């Protein structure tokens, strides 16, 4: 099957998969279209109204999943993006941002709002380690960062005072081990990515 982009019609551009057979070769190539199967999923992606409905449904599902947890609590959060999760390094690690917040929901909303204009995909919330005492959050984040750095999980793209200071090449399982080591083992939100 070969992907084909058909000419625009009154229905707009159409994508299809087809089966072509070679029927003649006179110095050039001649192909005969044997079958044509339209890909409804690709066609739906061309419909802005359908895209908006799908995005709204995705937001509702994420909100429902996060509603189980009180995301307004303080905690340490870890997120990544689908591309990083799909392309781990040679040690099966991927880039993860580890941060802190007095109100996790509000902080993640800030990250999501900023990402809308400069990132090609939504963030994938991997973990939230809730903390009962907001005064401990900063010290716990520093402990997370120190343990990740000393374990060799530093961001390979890190540039001091420029980028990547809270990004690490790690795994969700290693983050869980760090959380346990610093005394956070309850009230954990476990998430993932639609892309990985």
The verdict on residue 31 lying in a domain is yes
Q: What pLDDT score does 19 carry?
A: 44
The verdict on residue 56 lying in a domain is no
The verdict on residue 173 lying in a domain is yes
Same domain? For 29 and 87 the reply is no
Angstrom distance (rounded) from CA 195 to CA 171: 16
Domain count, the chain: 2
Q: Tell me the per-residue pLDDT of 6-54, one tens digit each, with 9 for 90 and over.
A: 444 344 444 444 444 444 444 444 444 444 444 455 555 567 777 777 7
Whole-model pTM: value is 0.63
Q: What pLDDT score does 42 carry?
A: 53
| For residues 87-113, average pLDDT | 90
> Which domain covers residue 161, as residue numbers?
70-190
């Amino acid at each position: 099957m070969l992907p084909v982009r058909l000419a625009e019609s009154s229905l707009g551009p159409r994508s299809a998969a087809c089966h072509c057979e070679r029927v003649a070769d006179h110095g050039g190539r001649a192909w005969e279209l044997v079958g044509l199967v339209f890909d409804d999923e690709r066609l739906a992606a061309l419909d802005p109204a359908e895209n908006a409905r799908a995005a709204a449904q995705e937001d509702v599902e994420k909100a429902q999943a996060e509603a189980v947890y009180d995301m307004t609590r303080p905690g340490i959060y870890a997120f990544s993006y689908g591309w990083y999760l799909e392309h781990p390094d040679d040690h099966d690690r991927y880039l993860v941002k580890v941060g802190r917040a007095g109100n996790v929901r509000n902080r993640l909303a800030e990250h999501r709002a900023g990402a809308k204009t400069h990132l090609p995909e939504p963030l994938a919330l991997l973990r939230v380690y809730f903390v009962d005492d907001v005064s401990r959050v900063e010290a716990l984040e520093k402990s997370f960062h120190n343990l990740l750095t000393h374990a060799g999980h530093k961001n390979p793209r890190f540039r001091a005072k420029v980028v990547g200071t809270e990004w690490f090449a790690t795994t969700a399982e290693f983050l869980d081990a760090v959380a346990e080591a610093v005394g956070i083992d309850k009230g954990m939100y476990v998430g993932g990515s639609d892309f990985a």
